[in-house]
Amino acid sequence: MKILLMLVMAFSVNTYAQTLEKRIGQMLMVGFHGTSATPNTQICKDIKKYNLGAVILFDYNPVNKNKPKNIATKAQLKKLTSQLQACSNDGKLLIAVDQEGGKVQRLKSKYGFYGKFPKASDVIKMNQSKIKSTYTKMSKELKSVGINYDLAPVVDLDINMKNHVIHGLGRSFGKEPKLVASYASTFIDAMHTHGVLTSLKHFPGHGSSVGDTHKGFVDVTNLWQEKELEPYRLLNHKADTVMVAHVFNKRIDAKYPATLSAKTVDGLLRQKLGFHGVVITDDLQMGAISQKYGLKKTLNLAIGAGNDILLIGNQLDPKKVKTSKKLVDTIVTLVKEGKVSQSRIEASYARLQKLKARL
């Protein structure tokens, strides 16, 4: 009897550990190197073993500029996404790219795609029906190669002419919150016509910044304006997901940048602005975070802040690739140490399942 009880307990502990790993896996969006995902590839094994929720694809290869990272041709990409879905448990793996138009479009002409989608600052010069058809064409192209999650539209306000990341690249629809929300709404509707999910970015506003969070710490305290929150308030029931930026704003949180701040994510975005959907971090390997925080601290704060998807692009520094195993093991340790609560993981899991039900 005693042996049987011990076996049952061991089985329960083991099952709990596996369930926890799979819940955590759903919260991860990882980047990987490779143009295929056959069953023997590491990414396929990781999706299966850890129940990874999402992957992010890039065309530029930081390790070898002469080879594509994930995107080489239309046919290849379609095959890759279909292989990735086959690795997943539910066939609802979130497969994401950054496809805004202008400088930020991963599906380029040289790979056989249209590749000439206009940047936001040019889109606003078109009439409404042209805008709608442009973004519908974009969503159709994404869907045709199996991409179901577009990390766009940008709802940052164009309020700082010295800003290279938003203003300089023409990524904003303008400086008036209502207009920006209206263009973003058209973008979201167009994506939904072909079943592509979207993400408003970069909360709580990157349009006022001067620096680039890819490169390091960016403080927007003195430049940020309250109206930068308005597009999120206006779209809070329409947005599929919201991406949080790494900007630091003492007026919101005097200690942590937005992505790692419970005051920003749980306090401002969820409680004050009423957004109850999935929240995704910007890439946690960007300089603004990685130069200041270690991996364990980053994951601890990001989950504690209320983020549901933790984005690790494995794109910015080839020497600092983080494996899925390392990410899952680190979060399991945080749970065991009582630093991350099981209920936080469960809440994210529930929100993610609700999001995926729309696919």
21 within some domain = no
Quick one: pLDDT band at residue 217, thresholds 50, 70, 90? confident
17 is a domain residue: no
Q: What is the DSSP letter of 205?
A: -
- pLDDT score recorded for residue 211: 77
Contact (CB, 8 A) for 31 and 320: no
**Is 75 within the bounds of a domain?**
yes
As given in the structure block, the two tokens for residue 72 are: 């080489």
Cα–Cα distance between 271 and 273 in angstroms, integer? 6
The C-alpha atoms of residue 249 and residue 264 are separated, in whole angstroms, by 9
User: Residue 273 domain-assigned?
Assistant: yes
The one catalytic residue among 46, 282, 283, 308: 282
Q: Of 212, 214, 219, 329, which one is the catalytic site residue?
A: 214
Contact (Cβ atoms closer than 8 angstroms) between residue 198 and residue 146: no
11 in a domain, yes or no?
no
Active site residue 214: yes
pTM for this prediction: 0.95
**Among candidates 335, 291, 333, which has minimal Cα distance to 316?**
291
Return the percentage of the chain with pLDDT > 90, whole number: 90
Unique residue bearing structure tokens 């940008």:
154
46 is an active site residue: no
CATH number of the structural domain spanning residue 306:
3.20.20.300
Amino acid letter at 1? M
Both tokens assigned to 99:
């496809």
**pLDDT higher than threshold 70 for residue 303:** yes
Range of the domain at 189: 26-356
**Exposure class string for 263-288: b at 16+ Cβ within 10 A, else e:** bbbbbbbbeebebebbbbbbbbbbbb
Per-residue pLDDT tens over the stretch 94-119: 999 999 999 999 999 999 999 999 99
Instruction: Compute the distance between CA of residue 68 and CA of residue 287 in angstroms, rounded to an integer.
Output: 24
Tokens 């994210």 sit on residue: 348
Report, as an integer, the average pLDDT of 41-68. 96
Mind listing the pLDDT tens digit for each residue in 246-282? 999 999 999 999 999 999 999 999 999 999 999 999 9
- Look at the chain and report how many structural domains it folds into: 1
The H or E element containing residue 243 is strand 241-244
Q: Identify whether 8 is part of a domain.
A: no
Asked if residue 304 belongs to a domain, the reply is yes
Residue 90 lies in a domain: yes
